[in-house]
Structure 1
Amino acid sequence: MTATIAYDRPVSNLIDKLSATGHVTHKSYRKTSVTLHHNAGRLSHQGALDLWKKRPTSAHFDVDAAGAVAQYVKVNEYAWAVGNVAGNQSSISIEMANATLAPNWTVAEATWKSAARLAGWHFAKVIGVRPSKSNLFYHHHWSSTICAGPYMEKIYDKVLAAAQEAYDRFKDSRPVPKPGTEPFPGASFFHAGRKSPIVAAMHHRLVAEGCNHYQSSAGADVWGPGDVKSYAAWQRKLGFEGDDANGIPGRTSWDKLQVPNV
């Protein structure tokens, strides 16, 4: 099963079910913005899937009336969402369920706040810049439509502020271990950037295998804070997927990591 994003809240996985329709374009692009939509109905996650099965439309995510999140398309892939090729290539689309229908197309606070938080996560973890009016859009930015509706238009500044708040929190945060996860004995060395034979060995192997996410210089034997991404990349090389490749050195990945005669 294709893994969802490593979000800190549950994400329902509908990626493979939408992919089975055959109209998902499995080609990766660099994402530089997030686009919010309303789905013109009080749709559940399954309702959105059923609709997108009938016609070649899609979005990366949907947020339902209660604020729950589902993923349909891998983040870096093309979703048929904004009616514009450049927009579909460069933007991550998040649909939102409506609380009421025409003419106002209101969206519940739980829904838009969850969508803004999710947008902030993507700006912090995928795009790499703070959300602003130049990169957090509504659908009508890309094509001739009223989406995401009159109500969302009125509260854009609140949505942007919520996305920025989430970005600021996610940008400086470290992944939180799952309950029951036993940290490895040298975790403090890893996070504090202190010398450790095992960390040095990990460094050597990361460089040797050409890990694209390795962030320290080739000759370093001390890792500074912020190398959670490097450890997550190494976990993926060890075969971990999804939330298990979270950049937290747990007991299982620690055991797999150790190199004899170090």
Structure 2
Amino acid sequence: MTATIAYDRDVSNFIDKLSATGHVTHTSYRKTSVTLHHNAGRFSHQGLLEVWKTRPASAHFDIDAAGAVAQYVKVNEYAWAVGNMVGNQRSISIEMANETLEPGWRVGEATWRSAARLAGWNFAKVIGERPSKSNLFYHHRWSSTQCAGPHMDDIYDKVLEAAEAAYDLFRDSHPSPRPDTEPFPGTSFFHTGRKSPIVAASHQRLVAEDCNRYQSSADADTWGPGDVRSYAAWQRKLGFVGDDANGIPGKTSWDKLRVPNV
């Protein structure tokens, strides 16, 4: 199963199920913005997938009425989301379940705050820019629609403020060292800043053997040799679950790989 993002909260995985509909283009682009949508209904994650099985549409993420997150498309890929080719290429789309239907199309606070937090994560970890009015959009930024609805228009400033706060949190945060982590004053390998002679030697070996191939074998997005999410995906492929698949290089992971201690 294709791995979801290395978010610090649970992310339900609908990537392969959405891909089976054909309503996604598996071409990667550099993302520069996040676009928020309402999904015109009180859908569960599965309910939204059922809609997309017959409707030629998709988005990268959905937030349900309780604020839970599901992922349908890899963040760097082209979702059929905004009705605009450039928008689909450059924006990460987040759907939100509605609390009420037309004409107000309200989105509950738990839902929009979760969407804003996820947007902040994507700005910090994928896009690399602080959210602003120039890169955090609603669907109507790209095409002729009222989406994400009048309620979301009214609270845009609150949504942006929440996304900015999340960006600051994720930009400044670093995973806490686990007991099996081996800090070492050597060559840095992963973005976590963890350093180890084992990691450094394995880095050289993996690059030599083609890093993209290593990440593909882990069902990970290809982000280069130093990305926490690809390492976390590799841990999951090896059988680590929950907090153990945290993307932090450590002795337990490398022992399981039988990487020589050099």
TM-score (norm 1): 0.81
Amino acid at match of 2:120: G
SS state of the match for residue 4, structure 2? coil
CA contact (8 A) 2:6 2:232 kept: no
Amino acid at match of 2:166: A
CA distance change for structure 1 residues 251 and 105 in 2, over 3 Å: closer, same or farther? same
- C-alpha offsets along residues 233-252 of structure 1, whole Å, 9 cap, x if unaligned? 56767866997764312333
Superposition CA RMSD, Å = 2.9
Is 1:112 the counterpart of 2:109? The answer is: no
Which stretches in structure 1 are left out of the alignment for 5+ residues? Answer: 213-227
Which stretches in structure 2 are left out of the alignment for 5+ residues? Answer: 213-224
The whole-number CA distance in structure 1 between the counterparts of 2:162 and 2:205 is 40
Is 1:101 the counterpart of 2:98? The answer is: no
SS state of the match for residue 187, structure 1? coil
TM-score (norm 2): 0.81
Q: Which residue of 1 aligns with 2:216?
A: none
Q: Which residue of 1 aligns with 2:174?
A: 174
The whole-number CA distance in structure 1 between the counterparts of 2:25 and 2:228 is 30
The whole-number CA distance in structure 2 between the counterparts of 1:176 and 1:66 is 28
- Residue 187 of structure 1 and its aligned partner are, at CA, apart by 2.5
The whole-number CA distance in structure 2 between the counterparts of 1:38 and 1:193 is 38
Q: Which residue of 2 aligns with 1:9?
A: 9
Q: Percent identity?
A: 71
Q: Which residue of 2 aligns with 1:156?
A: 156
Q: Which residue of 2 aligns with 1:187?
A: 183
- C-alpha offsets along residues 105-154 of structure 1, whole Å, 9 cap, x if unaligned? 11111000000000000001111111111000000000011100000001
The whole-number CA distance in structure 1 between the counterparts of 2:195 and 2:68 is 42
Q: Which residue of 2 aligns with 1:133?
A: 133
Higher alpha-carbon Rg? 1
CA contact (8 A) 2:199 2:249 kept: no
The whole-number CA distance in structure 2 between the counterparts of 1:91 and 1:175 is 27
SS state of the match for residue 36, structure 1? strand
CA contact (8 A) 1:60 1:71 kept: yes
Q: Which residue of 2 aligns with 1:78?
A: 78
SS state of the match for residue 226, structure 2? helix
Is 1:54 the counterpart of 2:43? The answer is: no
